[in-house]
Each structure stands twice: as structure tokens, then as C-alpha cells.
Amino acid sequence: MPYTNKSIPVLVTGGTGFLGSYLLRYLLRQGYTQVRALRRPHSRLDLLPDVADQIQWVEGDLLDAFSLQEALDGVKQVYHCAALVSYLPSDKDALRRINVEGTANLVNEALVCGVEKLVYAGSVAAIGIPKEGFAADEHTPWEWSKALSHYALSKHSAELEVWRGAAEGLQVCVALPAVILGAGRWSEGSLRMFPLVKRGFSICPPGQNGFVDVRDAARILIRLMESPLSNERFIVSGENRSFQEVMEWIAQSLGVPRAFYPSPRWKMQAARYADALWSLLAGKPREITQDAIFHASQQICFDNSKLIKALDWTYIPIAQTIAEAGRIFLKATAQGLPADVFELSSEVEITG
């Protein structure tokens, strides 16, 4: 059955993050009247300054079962977006605690509290690596490898916890977003490419990946919740593009068009050692890790046809996403790069 009652409480985890903040905005825009979100006391609300007072905040943590019970009281629909994204070796234990144990706790309490449906924002990192020349789809088998990042391992294990919940009676849908692009915090995640390009960076990773607009990713989560679909997983990826293409589009959007040159693996390894030395001297976290190099060097493409067919979905072109984000980034540069977001409409007009 569809889940379209917009007057009952819905819970979002990870609502102060990139994807979660857009999800909260769309839920409010689409008429949900009791939007509840779990947040830790120190979580920033800089992506939600104009709508934060319309959200029912519950202070808590995925690792605190009592706070989850409070957050889930009366809730029938849960969107699970909270996760740690990191390729730092030092975050290995934190990735398992937050992504795996946190998801297990949420699933356990959802079952106890009578939640009817959970939509989980996983990651394409939890999909197996296809044979050369083939696109990965929802059925590509997962095979353990020493080359897999701790992040990928944690997202795979977290998804298994969601499927355990399904086996115990919880209705679930699993969304697997590719690299998410948009406007948000310019110093975090994939959005760091914008300031890097602006500063004159001219090399890029040699790999290819899937990319998706954050607005698509957020709206798809809602559509999956409202649909009768259950116990299904879907790749959420608008286009397969090389990092070279993406960075050249970013440069064009910033008015600094230039050619980018894929860096060979040995140069990336040299940069990793230099980054490790700099982080030691400067006392700052490393940005270039072995896992990050492996992730950015893979030639992966994804088959997104299952979701397009199931939801009759039309993705925003990635070139349009980057052009719009670039305009917002340029305005933000003059103000010290505060976090900013796309202006939302019920439906996004696709141009070009």
C-alpha cells in the first residue's frame, strides 16, 4: 500500500547533513506537517536556517537506544540518511560504530516501535564491482576484497542490517546514491571540487563514476516511501561521467575554463605521501588516502534503468547541476564560502 498520509510523524536521521537537509526541505514543501529529525547536540543547522523552526528536533544519537525510542514515538515512516563518510584509515572503528551499529540500533527500535516502512539511503559503494566492460546493477554480486575501503565495507554491512529488518517484518526500500552533487557545504565531500578548481587545480583522478543531483536523490527517497514498492533496492545515479568531464564542467561554471589531465596512479601515490607529511606537520586530517585513490581510479558505471522504470523518473542533467551549483558557489566566495543550498521547487525544471 502507498504511504501518503502527510499528517503522521515522519522521522529523518542525518537531517543536518547534505542529502538529509534537502530531504527535510522537500518533505516540508510537499505538505508533511509533522517532520521530525534526530540530531546530536553539536550538529550544525547551517543548511537549514530558514526552515529549522518548522522541524521537530529530537536530540539523540544512533548509538543511544533510549533517544531512538523517543524519536520513534508515534512514527510510521523513517528515512535513514545518517552516516559517516570517510576514507581515513583512522576512522575505521567509527565507520563501523556509526554506519553499522547505528543502523542496527535504528532497525531494532523501528521494529519495537511499530514503524511501518523505512527508506534507507545507502551507497553504490555497497554494490559489487562488475566485470570489465559491464555496468553495475542492483544484482551485481558483492565480493570481499582487500582493495575495498572501510567505508564501502561499512555501507555493505549497514545495508545487511536493513535487510535483516525486512526479514523480521519491516517494510524497506534501499536507495543507493552515486556521487551526489549540488550546493551545500563547499569544504565537504564531493563539493570540495569547486574550491579546488577555483584555486587553479588542473589534475584530476583517472576514474569514472556515477553522479546524481542532490535534489533528485532527496525527491527519490520520498517517492520510494510514498510508493507501494517494498523490499527493493535501487541505484540512484543520473549519469556515468569521468572525473575529468565533471571537473571541466565545474571550471566552465566558475568562468575559469581549462583542460584537466587525469593523473597516473604513481603521481596520486606521490601526492598521498606529500599529503601525509603535510597533515603531520600542520596537525590537520589527511585528505588523500589509499582508499580515496582506489575509489577515484576505478572505471565504474551504473545501470540506473530499474529506478527510472519503477518511478518513471527523469534525472536532472549533471551539466545543469554543476552550472547551477557553480553560480551559487561564485556568490558564496565573496562572503567567505558559507554553506548554501539550491532554491527548491516542487519539481525541478530541466534545461538544456
CA distance 144 to 236: 23
Note whether residue 198 is domain-resident. Answer: no
Contact 234, 175 (CB under 8 A): yes
At 96-136, the pLDDT tens digits run 999 999 999 999 999 999 999 999 999 999 998 888 778 99
Note whether residue 118 is domain-resident. Answer: yes
Domain range holding 25?
A: 10-185+210-243+301-317
Give the chain's domain count.
Answer: 1
Which residues, listed in sequence order, are joined to residue 236 by a DSSP beta bridge? Answer: 177
CA distance 10 to 6: 9
**What percentage of residues in the chain have a pLDDT greater than 90?**
72
CA distance 138 to 58: 34
Note whether residue 255 is domain-resident. Answer: no
Note whether residue 120 is domain-resident. Answer: yes
Residue 228: predicted pLDDT: 96
The β-bridge relationship of strands 232-236 and 261-262 is: unpaired
Q: What is the CATH number of the domain that holds 159?
A: 3.40.50.720
| pTM for the full predicted model | 0.93
Contact 39, 59 (CB under 8 A): yes
Residue 206: predicted pLDDT: 86
CA distance 80 to 120: 5
At 140-185, the pLDDT tens digits run 999 887 778 899 999 999 999 999 999 999 999 999 999 999 999 9
Q: Give the CA distances from residue 311 to residues 90, 128, 219, 285, in Å, rounded to whole numbers and listed in that order.
A: 40, 24, 11, 41
At 191-209, the pLDDT tens digits run 988 988 998 878 788 889 9
What average pLDDT does the segment 3-24 reach? 94
Note whether residue 272 is domain-resident. Answer: no
Note whether residue 131 is domain-resident. Answer: yes
Q: Which three cell numbers stand for residue 98?
A: 556509526
Give me the sheet containing 35-39, strands edge to edge.
Answer: 56-59, 35-39, 10-13, 77-80, 117-121, 171-177, 232-236
CA distance 143 to 160: 14
- Check residue 114 and give left, alpha or beta (phi > 0: left; psi -120 to 50: alpha): left
Query: HEC string of 120-165?
Result: EECCHHHCCCCCCCCCECCCCCCCCCCCCCHHHHHHHHHHHHHHHH
Long-range contacts, 257-264 (Cβ 8 Å, 24+):
258/202, 259/202, 260/202, 260/203, 260/204, 261/202, 261/203, 261/204, 262/203, 262/204, 262/205, 262/206, 263/203, 263/204, 263/205, 263/206, 264/206
Taking 70 as the threshold, does the pLDDT of residue 294 lie above it?
no
CA distance 149 to 295: 8
Q: Which three cell numbers stand for residue 47?
A: 543548511
At 234-275, the pLDDT tens digits run 999 999 999 999 999 999 999 998 888 887 765 666 555 555
In the chain, at which residue ranges do the beta strands (DSSP E only) sit? Answer: 10-13, 35-39, 56-59, 77-80, 117-121, 171-177, 179-181, 203-204, 208-213, 232-236, 239-242, 261-262
Residue written as cell 566566495? 333
Residues with Cβ < 8 Å from 148, sequence gap 6 or more? none
Residue 2: predicted pLDDT: 60
Contact 179, 217 (CB under 8 A): no
Would you give the DSSP letter of residue 204? E
Note whether residue 94 is domain-resident. Answer: yes
Q: What angle do CA 116, 117, 121 make, to 5 degrees?
A: 155
The closest of 152, 175, 159 to 234, measured between CA atoms, is: 175
Orientation of helix 290-297 relative to helix 265-282, angle to 10°: 150
Note whether residue 62 is domain-resident. Answer: yes
